[in-house]
Structure 1
Amino acid sequence: MPTPAARPRDGVALAASLDDAPLRPFHLRVTATTFGANFSDGYALGMIGAVLATLTDARHLSGVWQGLLGASALIGLFFGSIVLGRVGDIIGRQKLYIYNFVLITVASALQLWAKDPAVLFTLRLLIGFGLGADYAVGPTMLSEFAPKRLRGLLLGSLTVMWTVGYVLAGILGTWLGKTEDMAYVLLATGALPALLVLLVRIGTPESPSWLVSQGRVEEARDIARRYLRSELGEMAEGASGGAGAGGTGASGAGASGAATSAGAGAASATGATGAAGTGAATATGGAAVAEPAVAGSTTPGPATAGTATSGTATAGATAGTTVGPATAGATSGPTTSGPTTAGPTAEPTTSGPTTVGPTAGPATSGPATAEATAGPTATVDPAATAHVGPAPSTTSWAAYRELFAPGQARRTWFGLIFYSAQVLPYFAIYTFMPTILLALNVDDADLQNLLLNLFLLAGGVTGLWFLQRMGRRPLVIATFGIMTAALALMGALTHASTTALMIPFLVYTFVMAGASNLTQVYPAELYPTHLRATGVGFLNGTSRIASAVGTFVLPVSLESIGLSWSMYWLAGVLLLGTVASVAWAPETKEEVTTSGG
């Protein structure tokens, strides 16, 4: 029976089953380990701010060293997110999900002996590098396993756990980190939650969505059965039969595919139970390469592929059980008549996926064709294409270019501005909270700091309710507007009473903590599977550069232009986020991320 197969290379068929799966103990395990990672992140970043004043007095740190130590982990986060985010899309999520916490655990423990500021700076760069990897793959893994109805709650809760770690570090550092030795002990305690996360993560399987995007459907099915006690469902069965660059198969005994090389060519691709589909043949200037194709679990027949010397054409087919739409990348170039053939053949096998050999013969000018030699073919309507565009890239720079390709660029620009504008004031203000409270001339600064941290925690928990009840777009617009007004009011009231100053400060803290839940939810929902870790890593990385800039600049700003104007320019950053959200924020609450929709 016909089965829709939208975006087959992203595994949309698998996604429907994962999204509808009941909550299982494995969901809780992945959630718990990702929660622990965010707790560790918040604890590591919060502790340096809490003990930095003590280290400054003990080590006579200059303003430059204060800024560098405060921003060190954030700088590492940038490089870790950017570099390892893309690695997660190439090699998978699971390896990074485990090994990054080996680095974090070791580097955190070594802080106990890092008396030299340069050594401490280096260790915190490494901690940030490891955390950056988790910023990319942690929420990605959770979003690809979590049922849709719980995705917002679970991903949003990551920020709450980050806040718990941050607040706990602030309280411990404020009340216990009064001596130099104790300050270093508190920094090294970050190894404890990191070690616990590492131990629990051992044995975590690969993301099924990533496996499907790589054509490894049987492995994905095994993981769903073993860890989620669930079949992938009818749609996933269609994907396992064929979800490559062509489309799903049709009942019958053969497979065929064709592509045009002018404009956005539609490729028809059909497969059959008991026959292997051809691989995707790419023709550019007469050189052809046949990509692998996934086959069903019965003995396949041989396949052939052809190419053209003019233009670029792609076509592929895979074996399956039902008729589905086919896709092909957008190509360009003139074509003339004249069929060609090339010689890749599929190795026969009795079960499991079958791949097409990566060889092709010479071609003359003409459209490229690809067809399997065994059996009749079924008809696929070329108008029913599910996706037209370039295939997922396997190179890092090409993948980052795809983030800014038509159809994706607007989401990437929004994510970049939204995330950066949200976290820049956050990290700048809370890293130098004691300095700001001193500039505000508040009474009992330690008590006020504790009050602000409690509002931070309460705001994060309350924000989860709004995250579940509201759409992403209205929530991000409303919270940016409130935060902008609160910091602008702080700038206007710098010479007012402590009570008048603390009211907008508490409002900003409460709303900002709730809004920060979106930073874990939105990025994972903006990208399809084959780009998700790259996109999430990119947004996390660029936001951490913004955080580092804010953290480094704020103490200089406080000294040079004063508290009032410092609050004004921070409010200006939030205003930029408000404008970008009004203009570009998409509504992604109902989108499927187990497939990358």
Structure 2
Amino acid sequence: MSGPVRLDDVRMSPFLRRITIFSSGGPFLEGYVLGIIGVALVKMTPELGIDEHWTGLIGVASIIGLFVGASFGGLLTDHIGRRKMFVLDLITIIVLSIACSIVQEPWQLFVLRLIIGATIGADYPIATSMIAEFTPRRYRAISMGFIAAVWYVGANVAYLVGYFLLDAPNGWRWMLASSVVPCVIILLGRMSIPESPRWLYSKGRTEEANRIVRHVYGADVVLDDETVEKTKIAKIFQWVYFRRILFVGVIWLCQAIPMFAIYTYGPRIIGAFGLGEGKAALIGELVIGTFFMLGTIPAMFLAESWGRRPLVIWTFVIMTAALAVLGVVPDATLWVVIACFAIYALASGGPGNLQWLYPNELFPTDVRATAMGLAMAVSRIGTVITTYVLPDYLASHGIGSTMLVGAAISALGLVVSVAWAPETKGLPLSETGRPDFTGR
């Protein structure tokens, strides 16, 4: 008769799939919030008298908030648990979204978007830690890939909503209020998700952890690969862990800067290539967003069959080449522009998936959420600056130069991946989170 099964080796179940789906609500909301503001700015700019300065600030507000929320949300999550903020952050976003729809001045919208970003940023460490700690290792890459896909689903849904509301009376106000709908759906789905048993076990609350393991996985499943550790923020500044944070933060940064620019100012970028304005630009943005989403699907399976390290390296090679072509030939034909954007978007699924997977595999449970938050914060430093300066840079230097800068950023991600990317395929969290793990 076989003995008990370790949590890392169990089969996937409908309940575990539900945890993945509703924990992914934060990334969906980020994609939606960033996407919808790009559309809303088209109509709100003349109505609120928004100049280039305020356009940059409003575009970057939620990203600044993401930096703040991720920085502190992860630390708080490791101290008090994964579940307690699961509900409060969604209620906060509902209230703030309604407030956004009634603003009268640009500064009011900036402040509200800043707070919404902070709330979503705090949700990231919670959600990704929950998925990583509940999901068996065989399905971890697919589950984290689902998070990346959901981000793009959120952005695409935002563009669809924006398309239908663009010419409606007070359409931009309805756009900003519309995030209430997904918030309510996600909130209802999260109500029955329990605390992470790995986190409980790491805090010495073994009986609670075992009770949840029995409830979720069954009586023949054990959780015996965790150590009891007190969360100490100083731990992640040890060089072995700090270098991992820098690695994840940089590849996240180099994938996110061009992608955030495309989503935040997508209609302007599409227009700069001469591919139309207004609803025509939104359709073009929706098509590109669909390629971003589709790119996450092969990356889910390649991360397991091919490996994490070759996936991140070769996708950065392709992304760099695609943006370089757009930079060298800014007046290319319609099909060349679409092809390059599509190739970039499809390849982006590699680092796009791994930026969620790597930080949850490379750190132990007691600091996993803190590390995830800090890695995300590192990535958002660059995106904050870039998103703010992009409107002026695009106007002053043109689309060709803008695309070449994007290619250079992707090339940096390639260099860092070659130097530091580890291989974690098929390994348990208890091994990949060890300080002596090298992945080579």
Q: Quote the residue 2:14 is aligned against.
A: 25
Structure 1 position 581, deviation (Å): 0.3
1:411 aligns with 2:411: no
Residues 520-539 of structure 1, C-alpha deviations (whole Å, 9 max, x = no match): 21221121111100000111
1:438 aligns with 2:271: yes
Correspondence for 1:46 among 35, 43, 51:
35
Q: Quote the residue 1:543 is aligned against.
A: 379
Mean Cα displacement is larger for which, 452-461 or 134-143?
A: 452-461
Q: Quote the residue 1:346 is aligned against.
A: none
Aligned pairs (5 A) from 1:75-474:
75-179=64-168, 181-233=170-222, 236=224, 392-394=230-232, 399=233, 401-442=234-275, 444-474=280-310
**CA–CA separation in structure 2 for the residues paired with 1:409 and 1:208:** 26
The answer to whether the 8 A contact 1:80-1:129 is kept is yes
Mean Cα displacement is larger for which, 33-42 or 73-82?
A: 33-42
Q: Quote the residue 2:26 is aligned against.
A: 37
Secondary structure of residue in 2 paired with 1:30: helix
**CA–CA separation in structure 1 for the residues paired with 2:114 and 2:241:** 31
Structure 1 position 177, deviation (Å): 1.7
1:557 aligns with 2:393: yes
**CA–CA separation in structure 2 for the residues paired with 1:55 and 1:134:** 28
The answer to whether the 8 A contact 1:76-1:127 is kept is yes
The answer to whether the 8 A contact 1:18-1:594 is kept is no
**CA–CA separation in structure 1 for the residues paired with 2:78 and 2:169:** 42
Mean Cα displacement is larger for which, 544-553 or 533-542?
A: 544-553
Structure 1 position 472, deviation (Å): 0.8
Structure 1 position 446, deviation (Å): 4.3
**CA–CA separation in structure 2 for the residues paired with 1:58 and 1:203:** 43
**CA–CA separation in structure 2 for the residues paired with 1:191 and 1:429:** 24
**CA–CA separation in structure 1 for the residues paired with 2:320 and 2:72:** 32
Larger relative contact order (C-alpha < 8 A, sep ≥ 6)? 2
The answer to whether the 8 A contact 1:213-1:529 is kept is yes
CA 1:146/1:448 → structure 2, altered by over 3 Å: closer, same or farther? same
TM-score, normalization by structure 1: 0.68
Rg larger in structure? 1
Structure 1 position 393, deviation (Å): 4.6
Structure 1 position 459, deviation (Å): 2.1
**CA–CA separation in structure 2 for the residues paired with 1:471 and 1:105:** 39
The answer to whether the 8 A contact 1:422-1:577 is kept is yes
The answer to whether the 8 A contact 1:112-1:184 is kept is yes
1:566 aligns with 2:402: yes
Mean Cα displacement is larger for which, 167-176 or 59-68?
A: 167-176
Correspondence for 1:585 among 404, 421, 435:
421
Structure 1 position 45, deviation (Å): 1.6
Matched to 2:269, the amino acid is I
**CA–CA separation in structure 2 for the residues paired with 1:109 and 1:228:** 39
The answer to whether the 8 A contact 2:272-2:399 is kept is yes
The answer to whether the 8 A contact 2:165-2:174 is kept is no
Q: Quote the residue 1:377 is aligned against.
A: none
Structure 1 position 28, deviation (Å): 2.1
**CA–CA separation in structure 1 for the residues paired with 2:340 and 2:60:** 26
Higher fraction of helix: 2
Runs of 4+ in 1 over 4 A off after TM superposition: 594-597
Structure 1 position 496, deviation (Å): 2.7
CA 1:514/1:579 → structure 2, altered by over 3 Å: closer, same or farther? closer
**CA–CA separation in structure 2 for the residues paired with 1:58 and 1:464:** 43
Structure 1 position 495, deviation (Å): 2.3
**CA–CA separation in structure 2 for the residues paired with 1:457 and 1:112:** 28
**CA–CA separation in structure 2 for the residues paired with 1:51 and 1:74:** 17
CA 1:201/1:448 → structure 2, altered by over 3 Å: closer, same or farther? closer
**CA–CA separation in structure 2 for the residues paired with 1:102 and 1:429:** 29
CA 1:501/1:32 → structure 2, altered by over 3 Å: closer, same or farther? closer
Q: Quote the residue 1:530 is aligned against.
A: 366
CA 1:17/1:502 → structure 2, altered by over 3 Å: closer, same or farther? same
**CA–CA separation in structure 1 for the residues paired with 2:95 and 2:282:** 32
Residue identity over aligned pairs, in percent, reads: 37
Residues 514-559 of structure 1, C-alpha deviations (whole Å, 9 max, x = no match): 5412222122112111110000011112222322222112111112
Correspondence for 2:355 among 512, 516, 519:
519
Structure 1 position 442, deviation (Å): 2.3
Matched to 1:153, the amino acid is I
Structure 1: tracts of 5 or more residues without a match: 1-13, 245-390
Residues 385-432 of structure 1, C-alpha deviations (whole Å, 9 max, x = no match): xxxxxx7553xxxx1x42231322321221111111110111012211
Q: CA RMSD in A?
A: 2.1
Matched to 2:388, the amino acid is F
Residues 20-78 of structure 1, C-alpha deviations (whole Å, 9 max, x = no match): 12223331221121133322221112111122111112222111111111111111111
Mean Cα displacement is larger for which, 427-436 or 483-492?
A: 427-436
**CA–CA separation in structure 1 for the residues paired with 2:403 and 2:198:** 44
Secondary structure of residue in 2 paired with 1:407: helix
**CA–CA separation in structure 1 for the residues paired with 2:193 and 2:72:** 22
**CA–CA separation in structure 1 for the residues paired with 2:79 and 2:26:** 22
Secondary structure of residue in 1 paired with 2:101: helix
Structure 1 position 132, deviation (Å): 0.7
CA 1:406/1:438 → structure 2, altered by over 3 Å: closer, same or farther? closer
Mean Cα displacement is larger for which, 79-88 or 407-416?
A: 407-416
**CA–CA separation in structure 2 for the residues paired with 1:42 and 1:454:** 13
Structure 1 position 227, deviation (Å): 2.4
**CA–CA separation in structure 1 for the residues paired with 2:190 and 2:430:** 20
**CA–CA separation in structure 1 for the residues paired with 2:23 and 2:208:** 23
Structure 2: tracts of 5 or more residues without a match: 435-440
